[in-house]
Amino acid sequence: MSHQLYGPVLSSQSEMLAGRYSYLGTSITDVIFNLLTNPQLLLKYLFTQESLNYLLILFLPVGYVCFF
């Protein structure tokens, strides 16, 4: 069962997503290490103007009810 869950992450198919997470490292161990030791890398990427605009547009139709 664990192979089904973690297999795609550790296989060569995960190289397709390497560009998406390249700012965190070049291998899965680099990515995990950088997430644990440098969380500001992820936070800097998540809280860009583009992502905040996306969240604004995403939650606008429901009036931000889920935050109350």
At residue 14 the predicted structure's pLDDT band, cuts being 50, 70 and 90, is low
pTM above 0.75, yes or no: no
In angstroms, the CA 35 to CA 29 distance is 10
* Residue pLDDT, tens place only, 31-45: 889 999 999 988 888
In angstroms, the CA 13 to CA 10 distance is 8
In angstroms, the CA 31 to CA 26 distance is 7
Q: Residues 3-32: what's their mean pLDDT? A: 69
